[in-house]
Every structure is written in C-alpha cells, then in structure tokens.
Amino acid sequence: MTQQTIRGAVVLLGALLMSWPAIYNGYPLLYPDSMTYIGDGPPVARALFLHQFSEYYGMRSFIYSLGILPWHWNVNPWPIVAFQALIAAYVLWLVVRSVVPRRPARHYLVLVIVLSLFTSLSWYVSVILPDILGPILYLCIYLLVFAPESLTRADHGAVFLIACWGVASHATHLMVSVGIFLLLALLLVLRRQFMQRRWLAVGEVAIVIVLAAGAQLALHAYLYGEPSLNGDRPPFLMARVIADGPGRWYLEQHCSEVKLAICDYVQKLPDDPDNFLWGEDGIWQNIDDETQARFQREEIPFVLATLRAYPRQQLSKSAAAFWKQLGTFGLFDLDGSDWVLDSFGGVLPGERTHYLQSRQKRDAMPLEFFTSVQNWTILVSVVVIGAFTPRLWRHGSPRFVGLSTLIVFTVITNAMVTGTLSMVEDRFQSRIIWLLAFLAGLLLLDWLDRRRASGLGSSVDRQIDETLATPLASSRAVPASIN
C-alpha cells in the first residue's frame, strides 16, 4: 500500500470511531441550535449567490451554516457528521504524528479509542454544532506555530483553511484565538526557548484571525448594510450583568435618569440569563422587533455604565462564574426537544420520522453514565499532566512544551470567556475539556515510547510506522532534533 493509502485508512478508521454516538443513536445528535444552523444556510446562500435578500437570516454563525450547507442541502444531516469526523480525525492525526512520530499509527488509534469512549470528543463530533471546531482550531494553531515542519504543503494549506473556518464559526472561538495570539506574542517578547524563530508562524495565526474576522464583517455588511462580528445576536452581556446583580442594581438606581428600554421591565428581571433570553416568559422572547433593536443598541453603554458603578462587585461575580465554569463539563443536555421536532418541517423535510426513531428522541442516551466516565477521566488526566510537568519543562521538546502550553491556556481561557460573558453551562467547557485527556495520553505514550526506544514489535509494524511518520515525498522533512 502507498503512504497516502495507509494514512487515509488510519484517518478514516479514526473518523468512524469518533462517530459512534451518532451511530448508536441511529441519527445525528441534534441540539436546538442545530436546527438554526441548518436552516440559516439556504437564505444566506441565496443572498450571496442569487442576490435574493431576506428580512431575517438568523442569529448564529452564517459561515458555519454556509460551510455545512453542501453537506446536507436540507435533505439529510448525516454527511455533516461525516465531515466533522473527518476534520477532527485528520487534525488529531497530524498532531499525534508531530509529537510521537516513531509509532504514529498505533499511538493515534489508541488515543482515538480512549478519547472517543471516555471523553466528550465523539459526542461533539456527532452533534451538529460548530463546537467541535473550537478545540480543532486550537490544535491547528499548535500545528502552524510549533510543528509546521511536520506538515506537507497540502497539509499546511488544509490546516490553515480549517483554522479560518473554526475562528469564524463561533464568537467564542474568535475571542479564545485572540487570547492565544496574545499569549504567543508575549512568549516571543519574553524570548522563551521553545518560541525561538517562530515570528512568522505567530504572524500566520494573526492572518488567520484577521481573515476570519474580515469575512464575518464583510458578510454582515453585505446582508445588513453595516459590518458586524456578531450580526443580529441577542444581548448576552446585558442578560449576564443583570443576572449577576450589578446590572439590576444599576437599573433600580438610575432608570429615572437614563431612560433605557430595559427600564420598562425592571420589575420583571430574572436571575438567570437563560430565562432572560430564551424563557417562554422571558423578556427577550416577548418584546417586538423595535424594542429588541433598542436593547441591542443600548447593551454596551448599559454594561459599561454598570461596570463603572459596580466594578468590584461585577469582578467578584465574574470570577465566581469563571471558577464554576472551569469545573462544569458534563455532557450537554440532549433530551428529545419538542422545538427540534417542530422544526423538521421547515429545515429537514422528510427526516422527521428518522429522528422520532432515534434514542435521543426517546431520552435513551446514556448521558449520566458518560458524564461520570468523563469526570473521572479528566481527574486522572490532570494528575498525569501534573506528574509529567517537571519532566516536560526540563527535557520536553519545543513541540510538546508548545502543545501543553496551548492546551492548558485554552481550557482556562475558554472557561473565562464563556462563564463570564454568557452563562455557566456544561456544554461550553465540555466541548474542550477532552484536550486535557488528549495531552495526558500523548505524555504517557511518549514516555512509554522512549522507554522502548530499543525497538519492540515486528519488523512489519516498524516499517508501517516509519512510513506513516514520514511526510509525503513532496513535503519538507521533519528535523529529528525537534523530536
């Protein structure tokens, strides 16, 4: 078999293993937001390519919706799962090959099996949401900055494009990516050893962020007549500071003078941002379009005024939310939503019957069991990472140090962004927490591999692993000294 055939077979097998929750369910996993992402693609595409504009396009990421449109065409969602699984399997393969290149096929399949069975990785591959693109994006940044020599030209181009799509697919991905860029820039300034001669690579990360943000700005300017990174999104920050308390206090003290639209509802303010935005009796769901537009215009001035009035109190609330989000990473709620069922007629006509037959619709998915499994897996992973940290900083390769730094920073930053700016929710941290298990697994496999450096296994195994570890003939070779 050729190198390309072997690599392709390994990645395909990895993608299949990652898709087991959807296969077990009998249908792709669906979250209420899933139907919005699927439904928003066609009107945005008609506006872009046919100049058929609509009054409303939705409030989610249009670029994610456009990206998955060729894979479903409002007919069948299974190709979306296959596409997400292939992207995740491909990027994980590149990362594994870059840090433990001596036995990449075996190491890769062991890691994929463990991650798929014991963490949330496979669940986010199987659900139709942009969430899986977040951790995949951060791994792409690692590849671009710390392991470009391990990539062929085709791999490099693919990783660059996946990273751009990942940044543009969710607002939190953009914010976390900016945080990673600032961290990398700071490490360059501090002249850390593992950052030597990586100026151009960090610059490439900046290009990814600028291109993705520019695409969002341009698309919203085309659709709405003015540039925006978020489009027609609800007032998340307003809901957050009101639920935290300082926003409510500010309104109670200053509504007589500021005349904000939210002042008309000061006696009905909920304590939960989720209820404020999405509750049946919530404020946002029960106001007209003109009032919603006023809420959106007045959101930032209101939030800034609240921060000026109660800086210490809001900081304390935000810190508590961050800490709570850091430890909240159970599998997200996948009950059989009536809203999802009611959306099939306009989003996936003809698929309603298949969804009704799924385990998800019957509330038969083992979510509590796998949440418990993941909790123990992450606990063990943190212990392993802690045990290996001294050895890593003394003897670790620049790639391993860079990957470890990015993963730990990303897990912390993701909790900070989502917990303080939106709401504390299992889904937000669960989508990324599996990176800790991935890192722990890589550390263990690398340690075991170095102990067996004398060369165990059959000659056929070694030949296959060496073939897989070597990039395609047209690529740049991987310097042995780095690993």
pLDDT in tens, 285-323: 889 889 988 998 999 999 999 999 999 999 999 999 999
What's the CA dihedral at 465, 470, 473, 474 to 10 degrees? 140
Q: What is the pLDDT of residue 72?
A: 95
pLDDT digits (tens, 9 = 90+) for 154-213: 999 999 999 999 999 999 999 999 999 999 999 998 877 778 889 999 999 999 999 999
pLDDT digits (tens, 9 = 90+) for 85-128: 999 999 999 999 999 887 888 899 999 999 999 999 999 999 99
Q: How far is CA 399 from CA 393, 445, 472, in A?
A: 11, 15, 20
Strand partners for 71: none
Which of 10, 197, 141 has its CA nearest to residue 86?
10
Strand partners for 127: 29
The two tokens of residue 99 are: 């840090």
Residue 37: count of CB within 10 angstroms of its CB: 25
Instruction: Report the share of the chain in percent with pLDDT over 90.
Output: 68
Residue 398: count of CB within 10 angstroms of its CB: 18
Residue 139: count of CB within 10 angstroms of its CB: 25
Determine the Cα–Cα distance for residues 89 and 34; give it in Å rounded to an integer. Answer: 22
Q: How far is CA 16 from CA 12, 24, 95, 162, in A?
A: 6, 12, 18, 20
Q: What is the pLDDT of residue 455?
A: 52
For residues 183 and 136, the answer to whether their CB atoms sit within 8 Å is no
For residues 173 and 230, the answer to whether their CB atoms sit within 8 Å is no
Q: What is the pLDDT of residue 476?
A: 43
The model's confidence at residue 226, banded by pLDDT at 50, 70 and 90, is confident
For residues 91 and 121, the answer to whether their CB atoms sit within 8 Å is no
Mean pLDDT for 382-391 is: 92
In sequence order, the 6+-apart residues with CB closer than 8 A to the CB of 173 are 130, 133, 134, 137, 166, 167
| Helical axes 133-146 vs 398-421, angle rounded to 10° | 150
The model's confidence at residue 333, banded by pLDDT at 50, 70 and 90, is confident
Q: Where are the domains of the chain?
A: 3-132+329-482, 236-309
pLDDT digits (tens, 9 = 90+) for 235-287: 889 999 999 999 999 999 999 888 899 999 988 888 888 888 888 788 998 89
Q: What is the pLDDT of residue 274?
A: 85
- For the chain, the first-to-last Cα distance in angstroms comes to 27
In sequence order, the 6+-apart residues with CB closer than 8 A to the CB of 108 are 10, 14, 92, 93, 96, 97
Which of 168, 178, 241 has its CA nearest to residue 423?
241
Across the chain, mean pLDDT equals 89
Chain position carrying tokens 């925006």:
228
Residue 228: count of CB within 10 angstroms of its CB: 14
Determine the Cα–Cα distance for residues 438 and 410; give it in Å rounded to an integer. Answer: 13
> Bigger pLDDT: 95 or 463?
95
